[in-house]
Amino acid sequence: MEKINQFIARLLLGQIFLLSGVFKISGYAGTQGYMEAMGVPGMLLPLVIALEIGGGLAIVVGWRTRIASGILAAFTLIAAAIFHHNLADQVQQIMFMKNIAITGGLMLLVAYGAGGFSVDQHRSKQ
């Protein structure tokens, strides 16, 4: 049961980034405009998409999980500070807290690794 729970936890954390990256592709112009409105160069969007899709997939399959989780944790904190810093706005406050909670889950993966049903676990047995 523990291995199943570890896989489900990775799946739930990873899918946030994976789907976010995919949605940024389909809404590229809007996302780029929003980034630029918040003072982030729109030319960084392809890097953001690659990070979200690649990092999300790495977490789901449990490949280099500690590294991917650490990078995504830093990315998520930076995104919270840039895009959700208006804590007087209740929606932005909730989005900020969501990012902080996601970062907490990612930090658990950094500390404990991928766990069950993962490429990392499979590679460690060889």
Contact at 8 Å (CB) between 58 and 12?
A: no
Number of domains in the chain: 1
Which domain, by its residues, includes 119? Answer: 2-124
Using one digit for the tens of pLDDT, what is the confidence trace for 62-83?
999 999 999 999 999 999 999 9
Cα torsion 15, 110, 99, 14 to 10°: value is 0
| Percent over 70 (pLDDT), the chain | 100
The residue ranges of the chain whose pLDDT is under 70 are none
Average pLDDT taken over every residue of the chain? 97
pLDDT at 126: 72
Rounded to the nearest 10 degrees, how much is the dihedral formed by the CA atoms of 30, 20, 39, 68? -150
